[in-house]
Each structure stands twice: as C-alpha cells, then as structure tokens.
Chain A
Amino acid sequence: MALEMLVQAVGITLLAPLLQGFIQWCKARLQNRRGPSPLQPYRNLFKLLAKDMVVAGTASWISFVTPFVCFGAAIAVAALLPVVSSGWGVSDLFLIVYLFGLSRFLLALAGLDSGNSFAGMGSSREMYLAVLVEPAFLLAIVATAGAVGTTELGRMVQHATAHSFTLPYVLAAGAFFIVVIAECGRIPVDNPDTHLELTMFQEATLIEYSGRQLALLLWSVYVRQLAMVVLFVELFFPWHWFDLIPSLFVWGMLKIFLVGFLLALTETSTAKMRLFRLPNFLAASGLLALLALVAR
C-alpha cells in the first residue's frame, strides 16, 4: 500500500507541470499565438532549481519554511487522492481541503513576511478567496457524493461512478468547475499570467520568491491544480480506477487534458472579474450545489 501510494504521489507530481504547460499551450493556440511548448514548465522548474535566491532582508524563517511545507502538503494530497485504486480508504475529503488550507495559510503568511505591500495584498485576497471557495468546495462534493454516508473520497467516487451523469451530478459538476477555476487561480477569478499588481492573487504572495524556493512553490501550485482536476474528473466525469491497464490510463489522461482544455477555453473567453464580484460568482456555485442537493 505504502509503495503504491508513493508511486501515485510521484506520478501526480511529475505529471503536474505537464498539465500546466498544456493549458498554457492551448491558451496560446486559442489566441492565435504559437506559444511555448507544453514541456516549458519542466524546463522552467529545472532551471529555477539551479538558481541562486534573492531573499528579502525583512523575511524570517516563515518565508524559508513555506516552500517546503507547501510542497509537502501537495505531495500528501497527491498521495491521498483515490487514483490508483479505491482500496486504501484513507482519503478523507475534509483532510484534502484542510491540507489545501495549510499551504494557503503558510503562503499568505509568507506574503506578509517580507513586508512588501503587493505581497500583503495578495495574502489578504488569498484568504478572502478561501472564505468563498472552501464552503463551495465542500458543498459541491457533499451535495452529491455525500449520499454514500461517508466523506471518504474512494467511496464517494464509487457512488459517483454508479450515478454518473444523473441530474444532481450534472448540476454539481457546474458547481465544482467554478471551484476548480478558483482553486487553480484562473481567469475569471485570478490571472496566473499577470504581474499587474492590482489583479494579482496567488502570484502576489509569491512575489518575493526566487530561485529554488520559487520552483518548489510553483511546483506545488501545479500539483494542486492537477489534484483539483483529477478530483473533478473522478467525481463528475468518472473514469473508474486507473489500474495500470493501458486503456484506462489513456482514457483518464484524455479526460484530464480535456478539462485542461476547458480551463484554457474559459480563460480565453472570459475577462477577469473584479474582486468584489467574486462572491456572486461563487454563490452561483453554491446555488448549483444546493440544487443538486435538492435533486438528490
């Protein structure tokens, strides 16, 4: 079990930059640009891992520790997701959400640590976003798969597989897609490509990071993104278990990249929202989830 878990964690971690690269590539194509290759994130990470770091003089050990813990939390999430088989029964929904919370907490602190005003703004917005996203996240899943009577994700996925594409799941899929956008920091919630101070969320908290630490943080962000997409695919776009049978593996991959393409499409076709319009956006998610609950 432990070995399989580690293999899964390593697999997801290694795959994560590819999804990021793919989304960027799709976006570029949709905008009639050639864009960098989908493998570009790997090159970036590899290069960053060799670089020296410029550290803010005001930063403390919080800034130093944060990349490691965020990466650790990302690895833990990657290992806990019920991907390879449902057999472990240890992937609790709340645990996953709170692990995301842990890295967000530290990232926000790191933003305040340097004393940079942009980073502080990023922290503030990041925590504000969490207030909106966390309830929507939990509700979208609980409203549907909660019928199984446990918050263990493996069992929930089984339930989802059995009831795939029923009305509640279709509704909740819409709800969860909004959550995925928010958690991955994508337009219309956040803009991952910008460095315009007024529009930044997550990028702002990373603003004082460079070199290896930045590599670790970016990587953990990619892992989080992939984890969210995997969760979305498993619950609302069920694929059964990825039992190392080539056909299933290929199907799973296709679905993941299809969702990646969807994300790229939304990013290209919508404009970023004002901060204070976000409650409405996530309320839409919550309402969809409530409808799903009623329809259950």
Chain B
Amino acid sequence: MNVLTVLLLFTAFLITRVSNLRLAIQILIVQSLGVAVACVWSGLGSELMHTYIAAMLTVVIKAGMIPYALFRVAARLRNETENKPILSPNQTSLAAALLLAVAYGLVDQALPGLGRDALAGALSGFLIGLLIMITRRQAVLQIVGLIMMENGIYLLGLSMTRGLPLIIELGVFFDVMVAVIVLGILTFRLKLSFMTTDTTVLQKLKG
C-alpha cells in the first residue's frame, strides 16, 4: 500500500513540473492505474466484490475514457502549452511539499494512529490537485488537476473505510465524468471564442 501512496505522490509531484499537455495526461494515466491497483489490493484484503468493480471502473474511466478525451482535446489544441504558470515549476513543487507537510500535520492532529501514511498521502494528493488547478492557466491542465484531486479523494475513502459503498463510488465516477465532459466542452468554446485555452481570459466575462 505504501508503495502505491508513494507512486501517487510521485506522479503528483511530476505533474507540478510539467508544462506539456500530453505528458501531463500520460502521467495522469499512470496515477489512475496506481489507484486502481490500490483498489484491487484492498479488495484482496477484504474479499469485497465491489472493490473489483470499482477498480475496473477506475481503469476504464480514468485511465481510458477521460485521458482519451483529453488527448483528443490536446490534439485539437496543437501547440498550446503552459507558458506562464502563476507559480513557476520550482515554486509549485515547493508549495506541494508544504501541502504534504500540512496534510501530515492534519492527519496527525485529527486521526492519530490510523493508516497514517496512506491517509496523509491521499490527502496531499487531493490538495496538490487543487494546487495544480490554482497555479495553471491551461484549461486542460486544470482538468488534470481535478482528476488528481478526485484520485486523492478516492484513495482517502479507500484508506479510511476499506472501500466505500459501491453506489457512492458510482456516483463519484459519474460526477467526475460529467465534470470532465463539461470542462472539455468549455475548453473547446474557449478555443473557439478566444483563440486560446488560457483561462485568464475568462476574467473578461465578469459582470
């Protein structure tokens, strides 16, 4: 389990340094696969059938459909890259490290002695996802951040309860899918309307 947590954190840190869209998506696939493996792992321990279903869904949706959609978007966008992130890669990594510390602190404070590493890793995955969304201007990278966040939440649930009820997981999946679809459409619209997917142009919409 710890291996997987480390994998999650590693991929999260990687994404903080990446400015190429396709590369970021590939890293995301790896991370999602890691989450799926974690899911199976916990299923082996508890002999609960639905964790396998959840793992399968993770693979199909997060490692399959969503990255596929994102690749298509990225392909259409051609040479859009993250040019001027709000924080430079170095600064972002630093912030991510800080968040990791915060996550450990929080976990220690709230739930001492309960699967500490997994929990803190999951939480920091979630927080770093948020961080990515804040510090990147590119719409696609923001989607990536969102999914990272979701992975973090998922692992959080897994490490605390040995798997949430299937119905809740299904709900979360569909939530994410809808969000990604909406964001994908939004990205297209951005490109069409503003010739860029830099989300800072959205500030012009403010009333």
Chains A and B touch (C-beta atoms under 8 A apart)? no
